[in-house]
Chains A and B, each alone.
Chain A
Amino acid sequence: MLYEQELKTFVEGTTNFFEVAAQQPASIGSPYLMEGPPAVHEYTGVIKISGKREGVVYFTAPKAMLTVLLMKMQENDFSHETMRDLVGEVANTISGNARRDFGRDFVISVPSVLSGEKPEIPQKPGQRSFIIPINWRSHSAKLVVSLA
């Protein structure tokens, strides 16, 4: 089960990422319970969580947003591989930062990256997932947290 304070950790981590790495704050919406199949955009960076908690955290974003994010990060490589690298790095950063509150036993995997229309998110059936909506420079993305 995910508690409100724990969700706040991920909201803060997402806020911090965009403020520091993207040098432009994002508008982070209120988390809400996901209903139905996983909501994903064109690229998704997935972190498996194990140890004290189990589940997944993933960051999913459209190519257009990632392109602008790369530009803000002074990148000029907008290839498919770089997009994959970026979503993985975002998911990794936010998940790793969560250890500030969750502690060392919140074990994060190396990122796996999914792209395409209907990627399979490695999620346990029946496990509740919360969506944290992200709006940045008129683009929308999501951080999804699914922890037991």
Chain B
Amino acid sequence: MSDGTMNGNGKRSFKLMIVDDSNIMRRRIERSQQFEELQLVGSAANGLEALELFKKTDPDVVTMDITMPQMDGIECIGQLVALKPAIRILVISALADKATAVEAMERGANGFLNKPFTDRQLNEAIAELMR
């Protein structure tokens, strides 16, 4: 994982980007994640927007939906990992078949969380991602 950045308190912080075509879901993830060291740098509604936002914000951690318009999450994962191999990506998707999870991991995702999820499940998945 990337080293993040040192904040004013001498602690490391990591930049978070949330990618999901649902506003509700983006707000939910932002609201529910409990890691002080994760600082939200932006949200995107599809893979194309995510790539644009990536160039401006250089996130360390990404949550990624899969089924999105214009560019889906699988394609976006591949491109993000190519741009920044140390990036950590948690897929958060309703697609519950194993093949999709496998494909996401093969593209470079580091974790997979199915929707619907509880706050606890989200935070456990993020904790696992940041180990």
Contact = CB atoms under 8 A, between A and B. Distances in A.
B35 interface: no
A89 B22 contact: yes
A72 to B, nearest CB: 12
Interface residues of B, number: 23
A43 to B, nearest CB: 13
Nearest to B72: A110
B94 A97 contact: yes
Interface in A43-77: 70, 73-75
Given A92-B67, A110-B69, A85 B97 contact: no
Interface stretch (B52-60, B76-84, B109-117): B109-117
B72 to A, nearest CB: 9
B22 A96 contact: no
Tell me whether chain A's interface is mostly helix, strand or loop, or mixed: helix
Contacts of B99: 103-104
Query: Interface range on chain A: under 10, 10 to 19, 20 to 34, or 35 or more?
Result: 20 to 34
Interface of B: 21-25, 27-28, 31, 67-69, 93-97, 99-100, 114-118
Interface of A: 16-17, 20-21, 70, 73-75, 81-82, 85-86, 88-89, 92-100, 102-104, 106, 108-110
Given A88-B22, A97-B114, A103-B97, 12 more contacts: A21-B116, A74-B28, A75-B27, A81-B23, A82-B24, A86-B24, A89-B25, A92-B22, A92-B67, A94-B94, A100-B97, A109-B67
